[in-house]
Amino acid sequence: MLTLLCAATAAHAQKSTASPYSIFGYGTLANKEDAVSTGMGHSGVALAPNSWLNSKNPAAYGNLDSLSFYFNLQFKGFYGNEETRKYSQSTYSANIDAIAMGFRVTRWWGAGLGFSPYSHVGYRIDEVRGVIGSNETYTLIHEGSGGLSQAYINNAFTPLRGLTLGISTSVIWGAIKRRETASITYGEVIYNDKKYTVNNMLFEYGLQYGLNIGKTHLRIGGVYNAKTRLEAAYDQNVSNNVDGDLFHDDESRVGKFYVPQAFTAGIAALRGNWTLAADYKWYQWSDVRNGKTTESIEFRDCWSVGAGAHYAPGRVDDSYFKRLKYSFGGYYATNYFKVKGVELDNYSITAGISFPVRKWGDYINVSYEFNHGGTTSNSLIKETYHNFKIGLNIREIWFMKSQFD
């Protein structure tokens, strides 16, 4: 487990996005979810599955099977294309995405813990700028890496039949590294390195309620977190190509780093082999100002809506192919910042398939997402990504007592 956590942390330190927009704010925000949810259009906050871990809502852990220990190891990869009016380039990357585990502690208490990314930063942008007061130009290279991670403990309680309350206690931490390289013909080269180190606790509160209406099991769910201030420090080092260090500011405190207030509301319906789910998420980013990481952008409230279906035709004792599960969905999201006054958004269509590994509930969940966002107008960048997730969902029977030793 420790090995996996270390590996996951190391993975996050590597490049997990290539979006030029990750230069802004905290970078590209990540969804804390299983590959099945991704396949369903990033929906599922109202779902409480007992065959996989639903990290979108801590309350979902209240419905875990009491005999099982759940473990999920998830990988993510992407192949993308970024283009402006003049240029186009392809990128790809693959890394560990998330780790989660969960189990039922008592009849009314489910718990789990996990690790997932909160945001990704990874970009390199070359610019040619004009020198103020001159006809000359100079070159600026912007490079960034890192991002924020989230380690969480989920607890879910069932005070009433059908109602589950959950709380997710997270530690958000990470470092965002930014380097700006300025060079002018016949002159020195300056490296302006900044590293923002962020950490604090984040509490998310979840709720789920389910009831049967005829043959349909209807569920609603929600997750809320309050605006939370993050402890942030930054380290700046300016150096040049000849002398080395010119200026160093070590671990200065930076105020005004926040996780915004957010809530997600979802609805789901389960009938027969089908599961339908839809989520709406809202962030109050307009109330957040994040120091100098928000250069040239304006934070705004953003929202997303995702909906999808999951189809599980087979039973435990059916043939392998009958036990395959399918999911698909769609997703639309507005971005949490405006660049040059342009409101950016993105949409995606998703699909997934779950491959059974053993009879007893182990699955390899694979999802694919075609995501399109950005624009080439106003000298901005249009992005198209093919995202892949592979989740290894292991369900072990740990808590069954043998009648005979």
Q: How far is the CB of 326 from other proteins (least distance, A)?
A: 24
Binding residues for other proteins restricted to 49-68, rule: CB under 8 A:
none
Closer by beta carbon to other proteins, 20 or else 221: 20
Q: Are 61 and 158 in contact (CB under 8 A)?
A: no
Task: Out of 42, 194, 219, 310, point to the residue binding other proteins (CB under 8 A).
Answer: 194
- Alpha-carbon distance of 137 to 107, in angstroms, equals 68
Assess 245 for contact with other proteins (CB under 8 A): no
Closer by beta carbon to other proteins, 247 or else 404: 247
Q: Which of 23, 197, 192 is nearest to 124 (CA)?
A: 23
Closer by beta carbon to other proteins, 18 or else 305: 18
Segment contacting other proteins by CB under 8 A, of 5-13, 31-39, 261-269, 298-306:
5-13
How distant, in Å, are the alpha carbons of 27, 75, 287, 350, 355 from that of 366? 25, 10, 36, 11, 8
The greatest distance separating any two alpha carbons of the chain, rounded to the nearest whole angstrom, comes to 88
Closer by beta carbon to other proteins, 151 or else 265: 151
Binding residues for other proteins restricted to 15-54, rule: CB under 8 A:
15, 18, 20, 23
Binding residues for other proteins restricted to 312-371, rule: CB under 8 A:
339-340, 357
Closer by beta carbon to other proteins, 247 or else 320: 247
How distant, in Å, are the alpha carbons of 60, 104, 272 from that of 214? 23, 28, 12
- Alpha-carbon distance of 63 to 48, in angstroms, equals 6
* Planar angle of CA 264, 144, 19, nearest 5 degrees: 55
Closer by beta carbon to other proteins, 75 or else 280: 75
Q: Are 199 and 173 in contact (CB under 8 A)?
A: yes
Cβ neighbours for 70, distance < 8 A, ≥ 6 positions apart: 52, 53, 64, 100, 101, 102, 103, 112, 393, 394, 395
Segment contacting other proteins by CB under 8 A, of 168-176, 248-256, 303-311, 348-356:
248-256
Torsion sign across C-alpha atoms 371, 334, 198, 194: positive
- Alpha-carbon distance of 9 to 11, in angstroms, equals 5
φ/ψ (deg, to 5) at 197: -110, 125
Assess 377 for contact with other proteins (CB under 8 A): no
Q: Is 272 left (phi over 0), alpha (psi -120 to 50) or beta?
A: left
Assess 14 for contact with other proteins (CB under 8 A): yes
Task: Out of 180, 298, 301, 345, point to the residue binding other proteins (CB under 8 A).
Answer: 180
φ/ψ (deg, to 5) at 126: -95, 135
Assess 256 for contact with other proteins (CB under 8 A): no
Instruction: Give the x-and-dash track for 382-401 against other proteins (CB under 8 A).
Output: ----------x-x-x-----
- Alpha-carbon distance of 29 to 21, in angstroms, equals 11
Binding residues for other proteins restricted to 65-84, rule: CB under 8 A:
73, 75, 82, 84
Q: How far is the CB of 371 from other proteins (least distance, A)?
A: 17
Assess 184 for contact with other proteins (CB under 8 A): yes
Assess 127 for contact with other proteins (CB under 8 A): yes
Q: How far is the CB of 60 from other proteins (least distance, A)?
A: 23
Number of residues assigned to the chain: 405
Q: How far is the CB of 233 from other proteins (least distance, A)?
A: 10
Q: Which of 218, 233, 105 is nearest to 173 (CA)?
A: 233
Task: Out of 128, 160, 213, 400, point to the residue binding other proteins (CB under 8 A).
Answer: 128
Q: How far is the CB of 88 from other proteins (least distance, A)?
A: 9
Give the count of residues interacting with other proteins (CB under 8 A).
Answer: 79
Instruction: Give the x-and-dash track for 286-315 against other proteins (CB under 8 A).
Output: -----xx--xx-------------------
Chain position carrying tokens 């060079």: 183
Q: How far is the CB of 334 from other proteins (least distance, A)?
A: 18
Binding residues for other proteins restricted to 140-169, rule: CB under 8 A:
140, 142-143
Assess 111 for contact with other proteins (CB under 8 A): no
Task: Out of 68, 381, 388, 393, point to the residue binding other proteins (CB under 8 A).
Answer: 381
Q: How far is the CB of 75 from other proteins (least distance, A)?
A: 6
Closer by beta carbon to other proteins, 129 or else 271: 129
* Planar angle of CA 54, 203, 281, nearest 5 degrees: 55
